[in-house]
Amino acid sequence: MSRHARAFWLNAPGEGEIRSTTLPEPGPDEVLVRSRWSGISRGTETLVFAGRVPESQYAVMRAPFQEGDFPAPVKYGYLSVGVVEAGPAELRGRTVFCLHPHQTVYVVPAAAVVPVPDGVPPARAVLAGTVETAVNALWDAPPLVGDRITVLGAGMVGACVAALLARFPGVRVELVDTDPGRAAIAAALGVDFAAPADAATGRDLVVHASASAAGLQRSLELLAPEGTVLELSWYGDREVNLSLGGVFHSGRLTIRGSQVGTVAPARRPSRGYADRLALALELLRDPAFDTLLTGRSRFEDLPDVLHRLSTGDLPALCHLIEYDGE
């Protein structure tokens, strides 16, 4: 019996639609997953929606189960939570996370899904991909006890990094953003908050996630001598200009890139992608992460939702897509 599903496709930059598709029957090592929730990774997905993936990054930015090619038509996304309806006995009926685009039902290898731990609500579990990015970042630049750390940019990635840093003993964390409304996010995560002009200086580490040249420049200004800026922003096709004529050289400052596509070198010998994702799901037992879920819409509304997110008409951290009744 053939099965049908519906998926979100970007037809052309700025123009999306819901398409029907026919699914294959799952093989012996595959699962059929019926979606319950997916999340929109606002920074990356709005750049994809606007057609702003640089040609040099087409291969690097492919999602695991992406169809089509950049700039369009393309089926993109990677924060999906659903229930296994067919597959190996140990997975049937389990709620799982998968790095899959927005789609009502899908068939993937069983190894591509990770069970959501008991105690993690399915809606919160869509954050697993973003928490995984935060885990990898803190493997790239691990904090030391007593460090003074700033996270500049209180979007999904920055807020997830701040949430994890708040757990480290003796570490004082300040979340910095131009939007004063993000102070409530910082309070919920248990960290301090400041506007860029008022941010504390003399920091051992600054994690930059604002995706702006001004934010990266300010991150350098906040560092103590020998300090490091860990750059998590993705700029798409935008150029970034910095002024390095001040304390950058005399202070022996460092800018280090981090990207979730590769397991951080510090843990690569002992951790794989599945280990990192499983850890992210375990960390989501903390209900503080619920503060990052800032809205929800029906699957049918995805084309309009992504358009409004890309224009800034719909403010959000992680916007949930609901599949109930699909």
Does 265 map to a domain?
A: no
pLDDT of res. 207: 98
Does 271 map to a domain?
A: no
- Nearest to 128, CA basis, from 38, 259, 223, 257: 38
What are residue 35's DSSP bridge partners? Answer: 82
Q: Which domain CATH number covers 184?
A: 3.40.50.720
Q: Which domain CATH number covers 54?
A: 3.90.180.10
149-166 pLDDT, tens digit each: 999 999 999 999 999 999
- For residues 53 and 163, membership in a common domain is answered with no
First to last CA, the chain: 18
- For residues 142 and 160, membership in a common domain is answered with yes
Q: How many domains does the chain have?
A: 2
- For residues 74 and 111, membership in a common domain is answered with yes
Does 269 map to a domain?
A: no
Choose one of 257, 292, 314: the last residue of a domain: 257
Cα 115 to chain center, whole Å? 19
| 181/205 Cα distance (integer angstroms) | 24
pLDDT of res. 234: 87
This prediction has a pTM of: 0.93
- For residues 58 and 151, membership in a common domain is answered with no
- For residues 157 and 242, membership in a common domain is answered with yes
- For residues 120 and 9, membership in a common domain is answered with yes
Given a cut of 50, the residues of the chain with pLDDT beneath it are 326
Q: Name the residue range of residue 195's domain.
A: 132-257
pLDDT of res. 167: 95
Does 275 map to a domain?
A: no
283-313 pLDDT, tens digit each: 999 999 999 999 999 999 999 999 999 999 9
pLDDT of res. 65: 97
pLDDT of res. 43: 84
- For residues 155 and 206, membership in a common domain is answered with yes
- For residues 145 and 161, membership in a common domain is answered with yes
- For residues 155 and 253, membership in a common domain is answered with yes
- Residue 79 CB partners (closer than 8 Å, separation 6+): 38, 39, 40, 41, 99, 126, 127, 128, 129, 130, 318
- Nearest to 219, CA basis, from 247, 180, 192: 247
Does 266 map to a domain?
A: no
